[in-house]
Structure formats: structure tokens, C-alpha cells
Amino acid sequence: MQSHFPVLVVVIPMMVAPAIVVINHKTFSRIASLVALWVIVAITGILLGRTAGGTEIHYEIGGWKPPYGIEYVIDPFSAFVMLLVTVISAVVLTGSRDSIRRQISSSKITLFYATYLLCTAGLLGMCATGDLFNVFVFLEISSLSSYALIALGKSRRAALAALQYLIVGTIGATFFLLGVGLLYQMTGTLNMAGLAERLPIETGSRTLLVAFAMMTVGLAIKMAVFPVHTWLPNAYAHAPDSVSAFMAATSTKVSIYAFIRLTYTIFSGEFAFDIMPLGNELIFLSLLGIYVASAGAIFQSDVKRALAYSSVAQVGYMLMGVSLNRVDGLAAGISHMMNHAVIKGGLFLAVMAISYRIGSTRLVDLRGIARTMPWTAMAMTIGLLGLIGVPMTAGFVTKWMLLSTALDLGAPVGAGLLLLASLLAVAYSWRIVEAMYFGEPSEKVLAAKEAPWLMLASTWVLIGLVILLGIYPLSAHWATNAALFLTGEGS
């Protein structure tokens, strides 16, 4: 049983999803999904523990040996991202019971749970698999289910946002597939370890460059890197609240995971950043994204949309860490994946609570909400402090890591720009905090009560993690392990 853990993480949600649809009972679907998700949280926890020392767990699907069959590989990095995905997925689903009942029409609730599980399975599959084509398949599983989840939003704009995301996302996935094809043509294998062995990296041939460029562009769309991020704000703003919370915390992170895998495991840091001058471009785009998206967030009238823009900016921080091509930079990028997931998950859950009580997420409707929903407003404030990177929050840890790396590299200008960008985060955060605490409440707000306890508890679980990870930087520790493993300096 224990030897099957790597595949069970993917198989359990994937099997429960159709069962839910067949049985088609609302209470059953909720209980079954929650059980499935918390079981895989436990399994990924065990897997992370087992890989802690830098060991890899290999699992051959159906007993077929790697060059022919598909292999799952769990290493410290994939276990780290899988834990992130499962925890967020489970916590968000636990907390959003009432919101789902309110926002999803009752005939679609079972389908919602099934799609949610499929999306989780797809994201986990992308992390677990050691086969490049399999990454594409799981990418599409998670993408297709997220298009469907976004379209479940009540407003007609949700369908439009989902379609826009679908078109852009499919172009991205097809580019990725094209790159996979070129690599297969060169090596005759799809296994990541096999590819890493056989690709003639040092020659820097044109095929390699084109394949890598195509896969990078494809994943960049999914990561919502600055110039190709346009699908994200609409998608997050119009999706149901529970879906926004889940996706904002996980989906871009897993694409970044795939990009890091591609860069550091299949190709190599030298190829991506020396032979292919990707480093400068990515750093430039990250910085530009941080500034443009943060500035965009300041001018949004809707909280969900402002947080979505801030997500684009935060992806910039992660990508910047990755593209510094150094162990400490990579560790900063990876640890920001978890820190940001926790922060954004908590923030979107708090927004969900507010939207559940007052039925709106517009900034003007939020005024004075701290009077009637003090705990939610406080959670929101702590989350926003985390986004800014105030000490004692998770956001501080990664910004500190990034800054010290930048200073270490002798790039004080870059470090200064990073610090300056935090001011923009202060600006958009302050607008929300000001509205919540100092605005004149409307009658609707005065009539609101504190959020349902389950919603509040889940919000505070994630917000508690923001503080915990800020004081005791566990995510930084795991991320450093993963970075050492990826660059081969750990063993």
C-alpha cells in the first residue's frame, strides 16, 4: 500500500470525481470530496517526510519500466508543491460550504465537486509525473476543469472570462506540446530523466533553443507572466469565490513548478540562462510585471480584481527568484510559491466571507465592514500585510531572501527596485484596509453578521500559517532543500 502512495495522490481524486457524478447526491459529494482531499493531504505529508533527505521515490505505472512506461517521480521539490496544492485545495473546499450553496445553482453542485477534484488531480499529476507528455495531459486536465469552474460564476462575464482563458490557455498548451514533440524527435524518449541525459545541451542547437522557447512561452501563459497575463484578472474576478480562492493559490504555482522542472531538471541552469539568454529577459519581465500589475491593482474598484492583479505581480517575484540562476535565488522563488499561496488563499477566503454576507466584492460596498465582521477584516489585514512583506509574515521571509540574493549578486539597483515595488503593494493594500476600517458603513454592511464559523476557521487556518511561516520559516527550509536538490548541490 505504502509503495503506491505516489500514484494514489493522483488516482484518489480522479476516481472519486466520476463516483460523485454517478451517485449524484449533494451531501455525499461534499463528504466524499473532503475525505478524498484530506486523505491525500496526509499522503503528501508522508511523501514530503520521506523525500526530506533528498531521496527520490520512483513509481512505475503498471510495472512498465521507464523508457517504455510512464514513471512518477517524487523528490523534495515535487513533494513540496504537492503538499501546497493539497493543503490549499482541502482547506478551501472545507471552508467554502456555504458559499458554494449560495453561488452554485443546486443542480450543478455535484458537478462542481467533481470538477474541483479533477482540477486538483490534474495539478497534482503535473507535479508527480516524470514523463513530459504526461505533464501536457495533466496540464490539460487541470486547465479544462478550471475553465469549467470559472464558467460556473453567476454573471455572464464569467463565461466570457472562461472562454478567453480557454483560447489563450489552449494556445499555451499547444506550444508546450510542440516543444515536447521537438524534444522527442531529438532523443526518442519522453522520460524527463532520459531527456536530461540525452539532450545535447552544450551544443545549443537551434532545435533545442526553439523547443525550449516554445515550452517556455506555453508555460508563461499558464504562469500569467506579465505580457501574457491578461486572462488572469478576468478569470479570478468572475469565477465563484471558492474557485478564485483555490485557483489563485494553486494553479499558477504548478505552472511555475513545471517551468522550474523544465529549466533545472531537463535542461539545465547553464542552458537556460547562459546559452539561452533567458535570465535577463525574465528578470526584466518580472520587474515590469511587478510594477505594472501592482499599479493596476491600485486602480481597481473590485477587491477580487485588485487581488488578481496583485497575483500577477507576485508571480513576478517568484519568477525573478527562479531566473537568478543561483541556489539562494531559486530557494526564494520556490518558498514564495508556498508563502504566496497561503497568503492569497487566506485573502480570497476572507473576500469570500465578505461576499457571502453582503453579496458584493466592490470596494465601495466594503466600507466599514470591520465594524460588523471584525475577524474577517482582521484576517484580511494580516493577509495584506503579508503581501506587502511586513516582518513576522510569510511575505517578509521571501522578500528578505530575494533582497539578500540581489545584494549578494552585487545588484543594489535591483534590490532597490524590489523595495520600491513594495510601496505599490502598500498603496493597494491600504485602499482596502482604509475602506474596511474607516469607511462609512452602508445599511447592508451594518446588517451583516460575522462570517459562518467554518468559513472563518478556514480563513484563519491560512492566515495563521502566514504568521507561522513568517516566524518559523518552514517553507524557506523546504524550499532550500528543494533548490539544493534541483541544482545538485545538496548531495
Which residue ranges make up the site for another protein (CB under 8 A)? 67-68, 133, 136-137, 140, 144, 147-148, 151, 154-157, 159-160, 162-163, 166-167, 170-171, 174, 177-178, 181-182, 184-189, 200, 203, 205-207, 210, 360, 362
Return the number of the residue (309 or 485) whose C-beta is nearest another protein: 309
- Least separation, in Å, of the C-beta of 403 and another protein? 38
- Least separation, in Å, of the C-beta of 13 and another protein? 18
Query: Any residues with CB less than 8 A from the CB of 57 and at least 6 apart, and which?
Result: 5, 6, 47, 50, 51, 73, 74, 75
Return the number of the residue (57 or 186) whose C-beta is nearest another protein: 186
Return the number of the residue (181 or 279) whose C-beta is nearest another protein: 181
Return the number of the residue (100 or 177) whose C-beta is nearest another protein: 177
CA atoms within 13 A on the CB side of 32: 25
- Least separation, in Å, of the C-beta of 222 and another protein? 14
- Least separation, in Å, of the C-beta of 360 and another protein? 7
- Least separation, in Å, of the C-beta of 214 and another protein? 9
Return the number of the residue (443 or 489) whose C-beta is nearest another protein: 443
- Least separation, in Å, of the C-beta of 435 and another protein? 16
CB 314 within 8 A of CB 384: no
Return the number of the residue (89 or 134) whose C-beta is nearest another protein: 134
Return the number of the residue (118 or 319) whose C-beta is nearest another protein: 118
- Least separation, in Å, of the C-beta of 117 and another protein? 17
Return the number of the residue (231 or 478) whose C-beta is nearest another protein: 231
Other CB atoms within 10 Å distance of the CB of residue 188:
11
- Least separation, in Å, of the C-beta of 83 and another protein? 28
- Least separation, in Å, of the C-beta of 87 and another protein? 28
Q: Compute the C-alpha angle 173/175/178, nearest 5°.
A: 110
Return the number of the residue (148 or 192) whose C-beta is nearest another protein: 148
Q: Compute the C-alpha angle 298/304/308, nearest 5°.
A: 70
Phi, psi at residue 58, to the nearest 5°? -105, 140
- Least separation, in Å, of the C-beta of 186 and another protein? 5
Return the number of the residue (359 or 391) whose C-beta is nearest another protein: 359
- Least separation, in Å, of the C-beta of 158 and another protein? 9
Return the number of the residue (3 or 107) whose C-beta is nearest another protein: 107
Phi, psi at residue 439, to the nearest 5°? -75, 160
